[in-house]
């Protein structure tokens, strides 16, 4: 699936997230992968898979997170002027810390092994 309309194409690695500010009316079109999203002040989350389209229903922050490697388009009037925020590496740092904590030191054997 391709994005033919004027818009922004976004690629995210697994578990990478970004926040889209005030994009009410823009259409998110997933071309690869699975995307989880939530809108500010909306208790319902949305999961989009390859081929799915979804229109952002309200202004405010829309947080999108890749469940796996994902590519999606943001199309519509709001997409033309959208400035994507800098990607947060907070989740990457969290996974790195967890990996260090959960990985036993080399040469160390569990007492039950």
Report the alpha-carbon distance of residue 61 to residue 63 in Å, rounded.
6
State pTM to two decimals.
0.66
> Per-residue pLDDT tens for 32-65?
999 999 999 999 999 999 999 999 999 999 999 9
**If pLDDT is split at 50, 70 and 90, which confidence band does 97 have?**
low
Among 71, 72, 61, 68, which Cα is nearest to 39's? 61
The contacts of residue 38 (CB under 8 Å, 6+ apart) are 45, 46, 62, 63
Contact 74, 56 (CB under 8 A): no
What backbone phi and psi angles, to 5 degrees, belong to 81? Answer: -110, 5
22 or 110, higher pLDDT:
22
pLDDT of residue 8: 83
Give one DSSP letter per residue of 63-101, joined into a string: EEEESSSEEEEEESGGGGG--PPPPP-HHHHHHHHHHHH
């Amino acid at each position: 699936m391709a994005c033919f309309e004027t818009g922004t194409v976004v690629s995210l690695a697994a578990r990478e997230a970004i926040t889209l500010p005030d994009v009410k009316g823009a259409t998110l079109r997933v071309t690869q992968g699975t995307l989880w999203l939530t809108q500010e002040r909306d208790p319902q989350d949305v999961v989009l898979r390859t081929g799915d389209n979804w229109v952002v229903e309200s202004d405010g922050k829309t947080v999108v997170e890749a469940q796996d490697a994902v590519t999606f388009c943001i199309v519509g009037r709001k997409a033309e002027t959208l400035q994507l925020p800098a990607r947060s590496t907070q989740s990457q740092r969290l996974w790195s810390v967890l990996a260090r904590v959960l990985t036993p030191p080399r040469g160390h054997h569990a007492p039950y092994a």
